[in-house]
Structure formats: C-alpha cells, structure tokens
Structure 1
Amino acid sequence: MSATGRPGMAARFGARAAERRGAWLSTLAVALCLGIALSGLAPLLQGVTWWFAAMAMIVAVLGVSAVLRDRGAPEITVVAVSAIVWGALVILLYAVDTLWFVVPTFDTLRDIAADLADARFSIAEQESPAIAEGPITQLLVMAVGLIAIISDELASGLRTPVLAGVGPLALLAVTPLITEGTPDLLLYVLTAAAFLLVIWCSSRIGRAPRPGRGGRNPGLAVAVGAGALAAMIALPAVVPGLTAESLADDGSSSRFPSVYSSGVDPTIQLGRDLRRSDPMLSLTYSTDAEDGLYLKMVNLADFSTDTWQPERPYQADRYRGGPFGTPQGLAPDVPVTAQATTVSIAGLRSDWLPLPYPTQQVDELIGTWMLSPGSFTVTELRGDTQGLNYEVTGLDIQPTAQQLADAGGIVPDGFDRFLEVPTGLDPIVAQTAAAVTAGAATNYDQAVALQEYFRSDAFSYTLTAPDATAYEGGNAQMIPAFLAAKEGYCVHYAASMAVMARTLGIPSRIAIGYAPGQSADRTSEGGRALYEVYTDQLHSWPELYFEGVGWLPFEPTPGLDFTPPDYSLPDYAQSDAGNPGAAAEAPETETTDPAERPDTEQDAPATATAEQAVLAQVRGWGTFLAVLGGIALIVLAPLLLRRARRARRVRELASTGLPATLAWIELEDTLDDLRVQRSAGDTLDDLATRLAGDHLVPEEPLARLWRGVEWEQYARPGSADDATRSGLADDLRTVIGALEAEATARDRTIARLLPVSLLRRRRSPTPAGALVP
C-alpha cells in the first residue's frame, strides 16, 4: 500500500472506532442476556458444566467481536473473524485429532458431523433431565456460539437490537416446548431485563444521539420493551385461555399426536398422550392375522442408571430393504406363522416406525431408515412418520410350553446388560419378586407368575397415578411407590415386571408402541381385517428373553380388555403338559423367505385410510404454508410499510403546500435507511455537496430539491404549479435512484428489510422547522 494510502485507511478505521464508541457495552449486554436465557435449559440437562462450556464459547467469540469493533475493523471483518474463531474452537475442542498439522481435513468434518448425530440420538433416547454427555454439550456449545455471533451483530453491528432478542427467545422456548409445567417467571423477567439493557446499550453506541437517526431514542426503545414485558406478565392473569393449564397439550383436533417427537423420555411423552381428552387417530392397519397386533416402536433396554433408556440407535445399520434376519434366540423348531400387514400413518409424528415384533421385512418405505439388529426397531432422524404407507411381513411366534420350560435359566453371552439394575434399587422390589414367584421351577414359570400377580384384583389401572411428579415414567424410585399404591398405567406395570424379572435372572426390556387398536367394522380391499389405532392406545409392555425361543411379550397391565398371549397364561403349560404330543403336532412352520412370502402388493389400504392420509397431508401442508406465509409477512412488513409511505408522499407532492420540504423529508428517511452518515450541524447545502461528492448523486436535481426547501422554509410561501411539483417528484426519484445504485447490495438489502426510518417519530412538512423531528 502506498504511503498516501495508509493514512486514509487509518482515518477510516479511526472514524469507525469513534462511531462504535461504547459498542463493547452492547456486546457485554448480549452475553449477559444469552447467559440468563441459557439457564432456561437447566430443567432439561443435569449438572452445570454444559452452561460453563457454552458461556466460554460466548465469551470467546464476543470478546473477539468487541476488540475488533473497538479497533475500527469493518463489520464484515468482525463477523468473519468471529466465525473463524468459533470454527477453530470447535475443531480444537472436539476434533483436534483429525487435523493434518494445523489444517482441517475431510475427517474433521466427518468427525464433527458424527458427533452431532450422536447428540441427536442421545437427546432422543434420554429422559428429562438428560445427562449432558459430550455430544450434547458439543451441540449446545456450537449452537449457542452461532447464536451469540448473530445476536451481537444485530445489536452491536447493524444496531437493530430488537431483532437480537430472537436468540435468547429461542433458548427460552426450548424447555416449555418439551416439558410440562409453568415456566419459571423469574427467569423470563431477568432475561427480559437483560434484553432491555441490550436495547439501551445498542441505542447509545457512538457519539451523542442525532435527530432523525433510527435506533437512537433509548428512552422510547426501553419504554416499548418494558411495556411488552409488562404485558407478557399481566395478560395471562387477566385474559382467559392464556394460563399454563389451558396451553397444555389437551389433544385438540388442531394438534397431531406427538408421541416421541419432543425427543425427551418416551415414557413421559406416552403418559401425556394417554391423558389427551380427545383421542386422535394415529394410524390404521390391515392384517391377515387372526387378531390385532401390538405395534412396537422402541425398546427401553438400558436400566444401569436410575431411568430406563432406549437401546442405542447409533449401533444400528442403515436399512436399504430386504429381510431383517433371524430374531435373537429363536430356534428353528419353534412354530411360527407369517403375517402380512399394511400400515398407514395418519397423525403420528415419531422417530420410530410402528412395527409388529418380530418383523421380517418392510416394503414401500420412503426415507432413510436405520435398523437396530437386536431389537428389530427402525429409526429415522427426521422425527415425522406422518403420511407413511408401508407393507410389513412379520412372524407370529407360537412356542410350546415344553420349549419354554426347556429354556431353563440360560442367559447367553452378551445379555448381561438385560439383567442390570441401578445401584441402590430398593430391596423391596427383589423381595416382592421372590415372594410372588416362590415355587416356580423355571424362568418361564416365574414370568407367568409375575404377570398373574399384576393382573390380580389387587392392582387397578388409572391414568391419575398419585404424586405425578415422582411417580411418572419408569424410574427406579417409581417402582416401590407403585408396588405400594398398586395403581397406575401401562408404563408402571411394564417397568415393574421388567425390573422384577431382572432381579430373578430373566433378561428383560420394555417395549413402547401401540396396543392392537379397535376393529373398524369393515375390511380392506384385500379382505383383511382393518384396525384403527388412536392416541389413547399408546401402550407399554415387557418383553422377556428365553433362550431357544427369543424375546416374548407379556401383558401385565389389567383393566384394558387386552388378552395376554396364550403362552403367558397359567393353563397353557398345564394343557400342553397333559398332551405330550403337542410339540410334535405343532403347526408347521411357515417360511419367511421373501421369495415365498404372501403376495401383499395387491392389497391397497382402505379408502378411509387413504382419505385420512390425504387429509392429514393437506392439513400439514396448510399449516406449513400458513406458518411460512406468516413468517414472510413479518419479514416483509417493514419493506411494505416503507414503500407505502414513500408512495404516499410522492402522491402528496401534487397537493401539499410544501412539496419540496416533503420531498426532502423522504430523502432524509432514505439516507437513514441506507445508513448514510452525516453531521447534525450540516446545512442543506453542505449535505447536498457531500452527497454529490461522496455518493455520486447528480448535482442539478439535488440542488433543485434543497433550493426548493429553502424557499418554502424561509421565503414568502406560495403555491407551486403542477410542472414544479412534477419536476420535484422526478428529481426525488433521480436522487434516490442514484443513492441506491451507489450503495452495495448488502446495504440496499438492509435498507429495504430493516428501514430504521420507521422507528423514529414521523414528521410533517411545516414551515420553519420541518426538518427537525
């Protein structure tokens, strides 16, 4: 750079630094606001290390931004360097082993992407509050770092602090969307107060406030924000329908079944959907099975800690069609019958696919799915099964009592995890299991005894379990309370039987999905029985493992008119034992070879099912388009309002008594929108000279405008003729066109989408003072 060029560059940096004086206070306020809002995630995550890790990222990226602005760096440089620092920290903290010397590689991107996928799986499988393990903390740190950069740029760079509130609001919105209960009012008040501080500090960046500059009225800005805060606190108390109770998920027809779409603790979410006051249609299915089918979605198998967790989906393989394979533990001599089923999802939104167990193959499935080999569950991360239609080939396992008895107490290698119970489990659980199964000779006999114990008259079914806060779901503390109260719903029965089975040495897990549903009193076009499944038929049941037979479902929940499987009834063993030839006379096993399975392609879903799917899709698209249109309207509202104001002023030039003054007011607003810097002490002549010299505005039309203003403001008023008024309109369009043509594309976009002239008090063209707000 030349010697003459360096002073110019230094001068520009110095001018920017002066203009941004105090910007560090705005940045500090943004960090404070984000830190308080970040605390709103505490009900979802255990511990506090995640908060400190996220705050460290916020301090790092915002510290860099504050230093660069203080030195007068261009705003694009501030954002770019902050983003680079964010990326460098992410790599150094979470993917440093993938660097080639100090250069990121493709392995770096793959490693980070894998970590984020693990975080998504971990969130999906944990209950609230989840353990903030590495991937979850990494996701949070990365996301909050980006939110901090964007929020700070809006508040301290573009000086539109109102938009900077979107970041803290997004953090505050996460917990209420996932958990039940009334939000913490104090947290919202503190966040709102910090946000008002952001608005105040942003409005005072630079020199003393200048008349007519957008965003430079801190008193008005804070007053508006305080009014909004007061309304937020006061309205729920006085307006019907704005209470936490009324906003809870009540199963109204305007909402879809959520099941596990919130991604936190499927057992909790199951309880919420069961308590819907107005059950909604989740899915329909037609099957050639003799009875309705249990449709499993996810297995809860890990009980090494205080709560049940799903089997780790990241151990799954990508499913590209074809047979699932042989179910775990199923011997070739166990009788099975192939069953063909067509499933049509109506309103269900879930990461997991409803399937009968054990499924052998799924056809006509759209999307990218992952198969968990051990559990035969199918998962996709998009979290929305709504509208899917697919064909399923499954097996009906029909073991003989002798085969169940022969299973004995064998636990195969690798199944120890299905026997784990948390340290400190109340001894009453194992003691009750031992007492209930006293005298049972085999694992199978013990399983039958446990089921009969829960289905006895001593237990009752209810959705209003006592002390819902501690009694909800399938945690370790719930089980002793449930055994004492002897009332609850399916999760309590399934979790208790599964844990008691583990204390007896029987591998167990919990299945969550749907009960068989209700007959639709009609058949599908292929002649199959048709079933409708609603949200109140969400269900949970235990599955116990017997070597040589595999995983078998049991039904300990009483009072639901569900008939337990034949093999789980006490008289099954007795009748089979009285018929030694029963095993030999067992039905011939049907083949599950895909080439020989029943032809299900010709069986189309029922007409009602297709109509429901279409209506669900129409409602879904309608909601999506409405939301999209609302967002577009909000984003474009400032642009439309500003254009309407300009068009109205141009029209008024033909009738107003001070047309030149009105045209100059429009020019001043355009300068504000384009962020053109000018001095409060400039005369009209000074400003016109600067615009002509620095912004290449044509001198003649500009001169006619300011001379017209001077005549109207300081000379004897007179009525301008039509030619003069038309000429002023043409001059105004010429000057504004030149200003917009000289501005960068970024500046034009900001001026159109974020016109700061709308934020200041409107002025009218009056003599001797029209240009003073």
Structure 2
Amino acid sequence: MSTLLRPPAAPVPSGGTPRDRARPDEAVDGGRGGRPTSERGRASAARRRERRGTWKTTLAVGLTMGFALFSLSPLLQGIGWWFATMAMVGVLLGVSALLRARGVPEVVVVGAAVLLWVAIVVVLYAPGTTWFVLPTLDTVADLSADLAAARESIAVQEVPAVAVPELTQLLVMSIGLIALVSDELAAGLRVPALSGTGPLAVLTIAPLVRRDEPQVLVYLLTGLAFLLVLWTGARIGDGRSGSGRIGAGAVGAGPHSVSGSRGGPTPSIRPAAGGRNPLLALGLAVAAVAAMVVLPTVTPGLTAADLTEQGDGTPFASTYATGVDPTIQLGRDLRRSDPVLSLTYSTSAEEGLYLKMVNLSDFSGGTWEPEAPYDGVEYQGQQFGTPPGLAADVPVTDVTTTVSIAGLRSDWLPLPYPSQRVDSLSGNWLITPNTFTITDLQGDTRGINYEATSLAVAPTAEQLAAAGATVPDDLAGYLQLPADLPPVIAQEASTVTAGAATNYDRAVALQEFFRSGQFRYSLAAPASNGYDGSNAEMIAAFLEKKEGYCVHFSAAMAVMARTLGIPSRVAVGYAPGQTADSTADGRPVYEVYTDQLHAWPELYFEGIGWLPFEPTPGLDITPPDYSLPDYAQQSTTDSAAPAPSSTSTATNSAGPERGDVGATQSAEQQVLAQVRGWSIFAGVLVAVGLIVLAPYAARRLVRRGRIRRLATDPQPGTLAWLELEDTLDDHRLQRSHGDTLADVEQRLTAENMVPVDALVRLRLAAEYEQYAPPGTAGDETRARIARDLVAVISGLDAQAQPRDRALARYLPVSLWRRRRAAASTGALVP
C-alpha cells in the first residue's frame, strides 16, 4: 500500500489518457525507454526518492541529543560518560540513516536499529553470557544487576556524582533508545514536532535532581538544534517524492474539465502544497523551544520521591535523590521509600552518637550555606586540638567509635563532635581546624573503615548558667544575618525567650518551643505548601505553618538564636541510628540508613563551646540532658542529679511520622499514604494517556463534525472529498501533485482498496458541485454522500496493515496540514 499512490515516473501531457501514463506499479529506471526493474527494485527506488534528505534530519536529531546530554554535566563528574553515550547514539543513528538511504523498508530500519542496540549492549556489558551469539537469561540477569547497581549509585551518591561504569552504562542504554525513538518520529514517521519529547526528557533530569540556575546556553543550543530537526523534517523528499495531496486544486469551470473522460483533457486541478505550513511550523518551533527552556526552570525539586509523600514504603523509589546534599535539601532522601544502608558503627559511649559531616554556618545571604572545605590543611593523623570555647574544667569523657561505611558517597567523613583523632584512615584528607570536619573532595567514601576518638562533653547546670555572652572575634561570622530577614523571626524568638536570664536559658526555651506540641513533624507539608527549603522566607513560612522536618526545625532555631546574640550553625550528618543484633568487641553495632540523614542546630557558649540541640519533635531521638528544662533548673536548685527526663521523647498529638531516624507510622497512616501515592501515580498516567490520545480525539471530532455538516453544507460532495483526502494523508498514502480526482479514484480502486461504487459517487458529487448552483443537493443525496464517505473510509481502514492503521488513528498528520474550503467558488485550495 505504501507504493500504491506514488506519482508517475514522468509527466504526462494534459489531455493524455491514463494509458499514456506509467502505471503506479510500473516505475521505470532512467525515465521512459528504460528497462523496468524488479518489483523490489522499484519499491526500493521509490523509497529512496521519498526519503531524500532524511539523513539531514537524523543528523539534526543527533545534534539535539548531544546538546541535551550536556545538561547532565552538573550531575556527573568528568566528560567520558558524554563521549560513551554519544558513541552509541552516533552508531545507531548512522546505521538508521544508511539503511534509509538504501531504500530499506522503515520497519526493517527500526528492527535493525533495535537489534544493533541489543548487540552493542550485550557485547559491551554482558559479553560472557551469550549462547553462541544469542542473549540468554544470564544476559538479562547480568544487565539487570548492572542497572540495579546504577540505581543504588544514584541513591547514595552526592552531586556531582562519580560517573562509575554502572551509571555510564545506564546512560548509554537509555539515551541510545531515546535517540532511536526521536529519530524514528522525525525521519521515519515524519512527525518531527513529536521528536522533541526525547531531548526534553533529558533536559528535565538535572532540574529534577537539584535546584540550580538554569543552563541557558545548553537549552538554547538544544532548542536551535531542534529547530533544525523541524526544518529538515519538513523538507524530506523536497517535493520529489510525490508526497503532495491529491486533487486539492480547484476544479475547472469548463465542461471538458469535469468529465474526466479517458479521451478528454485532464481536469485542471491545481496541485496542492506538499503539506507544509510555515506558520504552523514556526509556532511549533517556538512552543518547543519555550518548553525546553521554561519547563526545566519551573519544576525544580519535583522528584519521583514526591509521589510517596511520607516515604511510607510505596513502590515509588526516588531514582533521582542523591546522598548528602550540603545545601540541606534532605527532604528527597527522607521521603525515599527504599533506604540504603549508609554505614555501621560501634562505640564505647552508652548511647548512639550524632555523626556530623558538614556545618552550615554562612547565613549572610539569607540561605544556609556550607563551610568552605578548601580552607582545610592536610590531615596526617595529628590531634585535632582543643575544641573552640571548651574550658579545662568542663567534664569530658573519651569515646572511641569504629565506623564502617557501606553505601555512602560523600566529600565529608561522618565523625562524632568534637573528634580528637582519626586512625586507620587511608588516602588524602583535609581537616578544617576551626570546625573539626574532614573532607577529601572526591565524593566517594564507600568501603572506608576508621576509628575516631572523640570527647563526650557534659557541662554542669552551673557551668551552663554561668556561660558568658561574649562572642570572640573569630566567631562573629556565626551571628551574621541578612539585612532583609523577615521581622517575624526575631519577634517570635523574643516572645519565646521572654523572661530567660541567660543565653543558655534562651537556648533551652527555643528548643522547648519547637518540642512543646505546637509544631508537627511532616515531610509532605513543606513540599505541598511551597516552603521546602532553608532560606529566610521559607523559615518564616515554617513558623507560620508549624509543620516541617529536621531541616526546618534546625534552620529556624539556629536563625532565632542568632537574633538573640547566640552564635549558631546547622550540622548535617546522621542521627544515632538503631542497634543491630550483632556486636563488635562487646559493643552493640548501630546501623544507619540513608533515610536517617538529619540536621540539628549547634549553639556556642563561652567556656563550653559548641553544643548540639534537638528541636525536631515526633522522632525517636532523646535530646541531650543539658538541653532539657529540668536540667536547666538545677542551676537555681543546686540539685546534684538531673531529674527524670519524662519529656525527653516529646511527641505531638499528630502522632509519629516516618522521619530522619525511622519513626514509624500507624497502619491507618500507611494505608492513607499509599492511597495518596497510588492516586497521584494514577493521575499522572491518566494525564499522559490524555496527552497521547489528544491527536486521536481531535481527529475524530473533525471527522464527525464534517459528517454532520454534510446535511447542511452547500457543497457536501466537496466537503466529503476533503475528509477523504485527510484520511489518505493519515494513512500516509503518497500522491502526485498532478493527480486529478479521477486519477485518485482509479488508483484506489485498482487494488480493490475501497468500495468502487461508493468512491465513484463521491468523485462525481465533488466534480458536479463545481457547476451546480449552491444548495441544490437534496436530503437523499446528502445522506447517500455521508454513507459513501463512511464506506470508503471503512474500506481504507480494513485494508491497512495494523501499524499503518494505528499511525492513522493516533498520529493523524492531517491535523498538521492546512486546507480550507472556498465556499464561494466551490474550489479546494491548499
């Protein structure tokens, strides 16, 4: 069918008979007088003519994918992954372009490209698993294991991630397939506007993973390359392939031009434009470029983890979430439904320890920023020294902690504060002297085992009460606040601490304010209400909404402390975790998972130094004894021992939610969360389905509207022929510019594709209307025209191959081609 309606090999003078024309199935090589080729050769030659210029579109698709792939550079270290991925894209698209140039059927082109993709993947990533040259179940298992490893790497790595082989493999495989689909849409199916979905999907990855400034240059280059796809895709064949519309010209006014008789002159029907619409193409191009530039900038922070809302164990794992994000966007990690083991540790301390990785100390710009690790000095096993501000008379206890890192990838080393020394640490590391943090700037801490010696600081109530309010000059930066800090933050801090006599009392009051039951722990509320962050505006919104997770509680308390003159910072690391069933050297082993990432405030007191506080409620974390109100009261009662900390695990009326340290949910909450997650997922699927079915629905509406109008339109025959032409376009049936209505009739009936009588009546009705007065068709004639149109369309659908029928229904190209009926003249004009 694809060759049935191709134009004749050479033009035929007006007035010639169809016998004078070369039959559609008698293409001649070299023009008239040449020797007819075989059927296969004729079909191949015709396809080559039709596809003239497809290689340009394929090249443009490759350029678009290459530019779009650069958008992943902020997420991955190095550039080798880009070359490996583009090598796959180049091979696949190059072979596809070569096969099209040779006139190979499109279905063979697609099949060969897919087989080539499979062969490359197997040879590169599972070479020893084939049986002779055929993939086996071991091949599938091997590739699945690689992809699982890539997914785990994505889950635990910090951005920018190391492009480990598994990640590169994932890119090579996925981007290769995306490029194949884009090329088939643009060069194979010739709907280049739809081919932009592939590059757009690649462009959206980076904004989904992290909030960065939009990569305007990358978006611009990708958009320009996509414009090239649209331009070249609209010119495939360049008018030589016979892709013009049938008989879409005006029927002549003379009597001879109507008959279409075998011996009479050919009806003077103007050839239609070859389906091009510059204004529509320009509109599509502008819309596509706008989507590529705008969409990634308005969807930051939207990850697959958002579907799970509470991180309740539903099967929507966050495939984009990273490990420790030093900008404290930890919500993505906490919402992840499949936590990964980050590390294990054993300690001589009586309880589990906070393991700090990095301090967020710079708030001068209104957003908590990490300290600069580049200020560190090389660490060679030396003592860290005395912690800042710690006086000699403050009770301390030496604590030994052995850490084994499993899946964590990070620049920073998890350590208890204040550490004094780290042993058994291999590699090159830097220590930041004033904060006691260690980094290697390599982003990969997996498999490292080390032993840390630290101090457990236990100041007395009297020492805390006597702590001075003087801030040393070298700590002045820990009091910095932005000039445009929302006033509500300082006002709330002043109200909460009214009546507190010392900085220590104020700190305890702040912690009690957050843990008193007024606030609720929630991972979902900040994201759904638009204040999921740590900048000043988000903190003000959090104080109003009173719902958030550790990032919001720690950031708010630290800022409020600064407004009261208390130096503060936010620590990011891991909460103590839970004990496992095993022991090491007689000590319990603690397991810490990715969903136990935590943030907490540290406040500075002269003579004692930095002390951690725990304002986040609703978690299984016991705040330090010194931070509890009963402990603070000892300074006035001279009590020797702290009172029982019945409020040490304060919760709120809303009940616990799954959070930084694996707080549990009730069965009802889990069911509701799953229902929400599945509902959102179902909504996404419905939306995608509606988008996919939109062309089908639009085309059906156009057809039904025309059939209804046959009862009232002054030229029903002309309108019916217009609908038939659009249907032929949808079926990708190629016609010549010079074909008349009679030629189309002859070609469609030659292979018994449609009911002959019905098609003849449609053709006669369209031609008759060029001479009949407007509105002369009777009701019976109009009903017959409608029945004949439906019969012809049904015949086309019945004869089409399943693939062609699906394309005609779901990708109707007639929607992208312009035609209108000139009611005043009865003409069919392009």
TM-score, normalisation: structure 2: 0.58
Deviation at 1:140, TM superposition (A): 0.8
Deviation at 1:696, TM superposition (A): 2.2
Q: 1:540 matched to which residue of 2?
A: 573
**1:426 is the counterpart of 2:377:** yes
Cα displacement string for residues 636-661 of structure 1 (whole angstroms, at most 9, x for unaligned residues): 11111111111111111111111111
Q: 1:158 matched to which residue of 2?
A: 189
1:46 to 77, 82, 97: 77
Deviation at 1:613, TM superposition (A): 3.1
**1:68 is the counterpart of 2:65:** no
**1:480 is the counterpart of 2:432:** yes
Cα displacement string for residues 83-122 of structure 1 (whole angstroms, at most 9, x for unaligned residues): 1111111111122222344343332222222222221122
Deviation at 1:201, TM superposition (A): 0.8
Please state whether the residue corresponding to 2:152 is helix, strand or coil: helix
Q: Is the 8 A contact 1:425 1:476 kept in 2?
A: no
Question: What one-letter code is carried by the residue in structure 1 that aligns with 2:679?
Answer: G
Q: 2:335 matched to which residue of 1?
A: 348
Distance in 2 (CA, whole Å) between partners of 1:701 and 1:63 is: 46
Q: 2:587 matched to which residue of 1?
A: 549
**1:700 is the counterpart of 2:757:** yes
Distance in 2 (CA, whole Å) between partners of 1:233 and 1:133 is: 28
Q: Is the 8 A contact 1:695 1:739 kept in 2?
A: no
Q: 1:224 matched to which residue of 2?
A: 283
Distance in 2 (CA, whole Å) between partners of 1:195 and 1:153 is: 15
Deviation at 1:197, TM superposition (A): 0.7
Please state whether the residue corresponding to 2:398 is helix, strand or coil: helix
2:206 to 175, 180, 185: 175
Q: 2:57 matched to which residue of 1?
A: 26
Q: 2:717 matched to which residue of 1?
A: 660
Q: Matches of residues 279-298 of structure 1 in structure 2 within 5 Å? A: none
Relative to structure 1, is the Cα distance of residues 771 and 269 closer, same or farther in structure 2, using a 3 angstrom cutoff? farther
Q: 1:94 matched to which residue of 2?
A: 125
Q: 1:360 matched to which residue of 2?
A: none
Deviation at 1:701, TM superposition (A): 1.2
Relative to structure 1, is the Cα distance of residues 641 and 731 closer, same or farther in structure 2, using a 3 angstrom cutoff? same
Q: Is the 8 A contact 2:150 2:167 kept in 1?
A: yes
Cα displacement string for residues 70-89 of structure 1 (whole angstroms, at most 9, x for unaligned residues): 11111110000011111111
Please state whether the residue corresponding to 2:820 is helix, strand or coil: coil
Distance in 1 (CA, whole Å) between partners of 2:112 and 2:296 is: 45
Question: What one-letter code is carried by the residue in structure 1 that aligns with 2:244?
Answer: R
Distance in 2 (CA, whole Å) between partners of 1:666 and 1:210 is: 16
Q: Is the 8 A contact 2:126 2:139 kept in 1?
A: yes
Q: Matches of residues 757-772 of structure 1 in structure 2 within 5 Å? A: 757-764=814-821, 766=823, 768=825, 770-772=827-829
Distance in 1 (CA, whole Å) between partners of 2:770 and 2:56 is: 41
**1:111 is the counterpart of 2:62:** no
Could you tell me which runs of 5 or more consecutive residues in structure 2 were left unpaired when the two chains were aligned. 1-34, 249-271, 354-372, 402-414, 421-426, 456-510, 519-546, 555-571, 578-582, 593-599, 603-610, 616-620, 627-662
Relative to structure 1, is the Cα distance of residues 214 and 155 closer, same or farther in structure 2, using a 3 angstrom cutoff? farther
Q: 1:643 matched to which residue of 2?
A: 700
Q: 1:205 matched to which residue of 2?
A: 236
Question: What one-letter code is carried by the residue in structure 2 that aligns with 1:627?
Answer: V
Cα displacement string for residues 338-383 of structure 1 (whole angstroms, at most 9, x for unaligned residues): xxxxxxxxx9333217xxxxxxxxxxxxxxxxx89x849xxxxxxx
Cα displacement string for residues 457-516 of structure 1 (whole angstroms, at most 9, x for unaligned residues): xxxxxxxxxxxxxxxxxx9999618618x9x9xxx9xx99xx99846599xxxxxxxx9x
Relative to structure 1, is the Cα distance of residues 227 and 150 closer, same or farther in structure 2, using a 3 angstrom cutoff? closer
Relative to structure 1, is the Cα distance of residues 83 and 482 closer, same or farther in structure 2, using a 3 angstrom cutoff? farther
1:754 to 811, 815, 822: 811
Relative to structure 1, is the Cα distance of residues 553 and 166 closer, same or farther in structure 2, using a 3 angstrom cutoff? closer
Q: Matches of residues 233-248 of structure 1 in structure 2 within 5 Å? A: none
Could you tell me which runs of 5 or more consecutive residues in structure 1 were left unpaired when the two chains were aligned. 237-241, 277-296, 298-346, 354-370, 377-395, 405-421, 456-474, 507-514, 522-531, 568-605
**1:256 is the counterpart of 2:287:** no
Please identify the structure whose Cα radius of gyration is greater. 2
Distance in 1 (CA, whole Å) between partners of 2:296 and 2:733 is: 47
Q: Is the 8 A contact 2:204 2:296 kept in 1?
A: no
Please state whether the residue corresponding to 2:325 is helix, strand or coil: helix
Distance in 2 (CA, whole Å) between partners of 1:149 and 1:683 is: 38
Question: What one-letter code is carried by the residue in structure 1 that aligns with 2:125?
Answer: Y
Q: Is the 8 A contact 1:713 1:767 kept in 2?
A: no
Distance in 2 (CA, whole Å) between partners of 1:181 and 1:84 is: 38
Larger CA deviation: 34-43 vs 694-703: 694-703
Q: Is the 8 A contact 1:672 1:757 kept in 2?
A: yes
2:398 to 441, 445, 455: 445
Q: Is the 8 A contact 1:18 1:207 kept in 2?
A: no
Distance in 1 (CA, whole Å) between partners of 2:792 and 2:450 is: 83
Question: What one-letter code is carried by the residue in structure 1 that aligns with 2:398?
Answer: D
Distance in 2 (CA, whole Å) between partners of 1:631 and 1:649 is: 28
Please state whether the residue corresponding to 2:573 is helix, strand or coil: strand
Deviation at 1:206, TM superposition (A): 1.2
Distance in 1 (CA, whole Å) between partners of 2:59 and 2:155 is: 34
RMSD: 4.9
Relative to structure 1, is the Cα distance of residues 663 and 400 closer, same or farther in structure 2, using a 3 angstrom cutoff? closer
Question: What one-letter code is carried by the residue in structure 2 that aligns with 1:348?
Answer: R
Q: 2:738 matched to which residue of 1?
A: 681
Question: What one-letter code is carried by the residue in structure 2 that aligns with 1:256?
Answer: E
Question: What one-letter code is carried by the residue in structure 2 that aligns with 1:549?
Answer: R
Q: Is the 8 A contact 1:38 1:171 kept in 2?
A: yes
Q: Matches of residues 345-384 of structure 1 in structure 2 within 5 Å? A: 348-352=335-339, 375=344
Cα displacement string for residues 687-744 of structure 1 (whole angstroms, at most 9, x for unaligned residues): 1010111352122111111111111114555511111111111111111111111111
Distance in 2 (CA, whole Å) between partners of 1:135 and 1:188 is: 27
Relative to structure 1, is the Cα distance of residues 447 and 425 closer, same or farther in structure 2, using a 3 angstrom cutoff? farther
Q: 1:625 matched to which residue of 2?
A: 682
Q: Is the 8 A contact 2:614 2:623 kept in 1?
A: no
Q: 1:726 matched to which residue of 2?
A: 783
Deviation at 1:227, TM superposition (A): 2.8
**1:671 is the counterpart of 2:622:** no
Deviation at 1:6, TM superposition (A): 7.1
Relative to structure 1, is the Cα distance of residues 5 and 741 closer, same or farther in structure 2, using a 3 angstrom cutoff? farther
Q: 1:58 matched to which residue of 2?
A: 89
Distance in 2 (CA, whole Å) between partners of 1:431 and 1:747 is: 74
Relative to structure 1, is the Cα distance of residues 233 and 43 closer, same or farther in structure 2, using a 3 angstrom cutoff? closer
Relative to structure 1, is the Cα distance of residues 101 and 645 closer, same or farther in structure 2, using a 3 angstrom cutoff? closer
Distance in 1 (CA, whole Å) between partners of 2:193 and 2:157 is: 35
Deviation at 1:620, TM superposition (A): 2.1
Deviation at 1:186, TM superposition (A): 1.2
Q: Indicate the structure whose relative CO is greater, using CA pairs within 8 Å and at least 6 residues apart.
A: 2
Q: 1:382 matched to which residue of 2?
A: none
Cα displacement string for residues 511-552 of structure 1 (whole angstroms, at most 9, x for unaligned residues): xxxx9x96989xxxxxxxxxx994547973477997321446
Question: What one-letter code is carried by the residue in structure 2 that aligns with 1:77?
Answer: V
2:614 to 560, 563, 569: 560
State percent identity of aligned pairs: 43
Q: Is the 8 A contact 1:454 1:558 kept in 2?
A: no
Distance in 2 (CA, whole Å) between partners of 1:246 and 1:39 is: 19
Q: Is the 8 A contact 2:48 2:101 kept in 1?
A: yes
Relative to structure 1, is the Cα distance of residues 433 and 667 closer, same or farther in structure 2, using a 3 angstrom cutoff? same
Question: What one-letter code is carried by the residue in structure 1 that aligns with 2:164?
Answer: E
Q: 2:221 matched to which residue of 1?
A: 190
Question: What one-letter code is carried by the residue in structure 2 that aligns with 1:94?
Answer: Y
**1:141 is the counterpart of 2:172:** yes
Distance in 2 (CA, whole Å) between partners of 1:754 and 1:31 is: 23
Q: Is the 8 A contact 2:758 2:791 kept in 1?
A: yes
